Amino acid sequence: MGDDKENVPKDSKLSEYSIYDEDEERRKVRAEYRHLNQISEENAEEIIRPTSTKISEIIKVGEDLFSKVRRPREAVHDSAHLLYLSKKSREQAQELKTDIVAFDNVTFIKKLIGSVNGYQLTGCSEEDDDEIDLPKDAWKTLGRKAVSLFKKAPAFEFLLGPLVIEVQVKEKVVRQRKKDENVATKKLEQIVSVEKQEEATTKEVDRIYKILKKKTKDGSRPICFFNFAVNPESFGQTVENIFHIAFLIKDSRVIVDFDEDDIPTINLNKNRTEEHTSETQRKQVVMPLTMKEWKELVEVYDIQESTIPTRAKIH
């Protein structure tokens, strides 16, 4: 097999100029989202008017803008904008008034009595407690009028066997105990396997933390996230490294930030305390990574050697 660099076209996104252009485009997209949010807030009263179509116009602009989104950071702006518009749509729906008439039980009773009496009642209200005499065949009259609405073919009902059926008690199988023992053994093996995996994960997380501590000189300077996490020799171990780093981020032992060039960096969290950890607002992000993107990262950041040593393959 030849070198992967030879198979990359000259106009590939791997060039530094392309990366710069992409970052510049992303900044423009974020600026446009901020401008769109500002317009939405300035027209908040106009949006919630029942006859207004302003919200449809803003959604159309947002859809055109979303076609430029390529990264999660810009997608967060789009999600926040849609959440704001959904709240305003609800307010607009609450302002909507219709001419639908609610059910009037007094009018219904008047018409019901009139249908069986042959004449309509007038001058009655909810406060009237007077009793009204109905003809003897009032219910029959009502039944004849309603029967056409409830026409249904009679169903067959079968009588299966005698009315009293003795329940047959099945004999207990002696093999049940052996089966239960096998199930218990399998569950125990699964628990032991899970505990071993958790222990191995904990050890690997601690190992990565020590490596990061050394590379950042005890947290005195942040380093590029991709240079630290990406393994140029193995796509699978790159994914595993990011997985283990996620545990450190969750426990607030490390922090991920962006430098002035919008490049993600990683460093130790010097301000980590139990009180700070509980009060910190957490944001979860799903980070997709394909084989193609992994190769691009290795090429763009010129990663020759893995900062986190390559682990031996388990056969």
Q: What is the dihedral of CA 234, 240, 241, 245, to 10 degrees?
A: 170
Which residues are within 8 A (CB) of 254 and not within 5 positions of it... i.e. 6 or more apart? Answer: 209, 212, 245, 248, 266, 267, 268, 269
Least confident of 2-6, 165-169, 200-204, 221-225: 2-6
Residue 138 is classified by DSSP as: H
Question: Span 52-69, mean pLDDT?
Answer: 87
Which residues are within 8 A (CB) of 55 and not within 5 positions of it... i.e. 6 or more apart? Answer: 47, 85, 88, 89, 92
**pLDDT tens profile 173-229:** 655 555 666 665 666 556 555 566 667 778 888 888 898 888 888 878 888 988 898
Question: Span 60-86, mean pLDDT?
Answer: 87
Residue 7 has pLDDT above 80, yes or no: no
Q: What is the DSSP string of 223-276?
A: EEHHHHH--TT-HHHHHHHHHHHHHHHHTTSEEEEE-TTS-EEEEE-TT--HHH
Q: Return mean pLDDT, the chain.
A: 77
Token pair of 217 as six digits: 């000189």
Residue 246 has pLDDT above 50, yes or no: yes
Residue 251 has pLDDT above 60, yes or no: yes
Question: Span 166-172, mean pLDDT?
Answer: 70
Question: For 144, phi and psi rounded to 5 degrees?
Answer: -65, -35
Out of 116-120, 146-150, 240-244, give the one with best mean pLDDT: 240-244
Residue 2 has pLDDT above 60, yes or no: no
Residue in 105, 141, 139, 99 with CA at minimum distance from that of residue 124: 105
- Tokens 């990264």: give the residue: 71
Least confident of 59-68, 151-160, 272-281, 300-309: 272-281
Residue 261 has pLDDT above 80, yes or no: yes
Beta-ladder partners of 264: 258
Question: For 182, phi and psi rounded to 5 degrees?
Answer: -65, -40
Cα–Cα distances (Å) from 20 to 26, 66, 77, 213, 224, in that order, read 10, 20, 21, 30, 16
Q: What is the reported pLDDT for 128?
A: 58
Question: Span 267-295, mean pLDDT?
Answer: 73
Q: What is the reported pLDDT for 165?
A: 59
Q: What is the reported pLDDT for 138?
A: 84
Q: What is the reported pLDDT for 4?
A: 42
Residue 202 half-sphere exposure toward CB, CA atoms < 13 A: 6
Structure confidence at residue 295 as a pLDDT band (50, 70, 90) = very high
Least confident of 105-119, 242-256, 257-271: 105-119
Residue 162 has pLDDT above 60, yes or no: no
Out of 57-71, 160-174, 275-289, give the one with best mean pLDDT: 57-71
Token pair of 59 as six digits: 């959604």
Structure confidence at residue 85 as a pLDDT band (50, 70, 90) = confident
Question: Span 120-134, mean pLDDT?
Answer: 63
% of the chain at pLDDT higher than 70:
69
Domains of the chain (ranges; CATH) run: 16-96 (no CATH), 186-271+285-301 (1.10.10.580)
68 neighbors 29 (Cβ within 8 angstroms): yes
Residue 8 has pLDDT above 50, yes or no: no
Q: 200 versus 110: which is more confidently predicted?
A: 110
Residue 13 has pLDDT above 60, yes or no: no
Where are the alpha helices (H) located in 129-234, listed in sequence order? 138-147, 175-215, 225-229
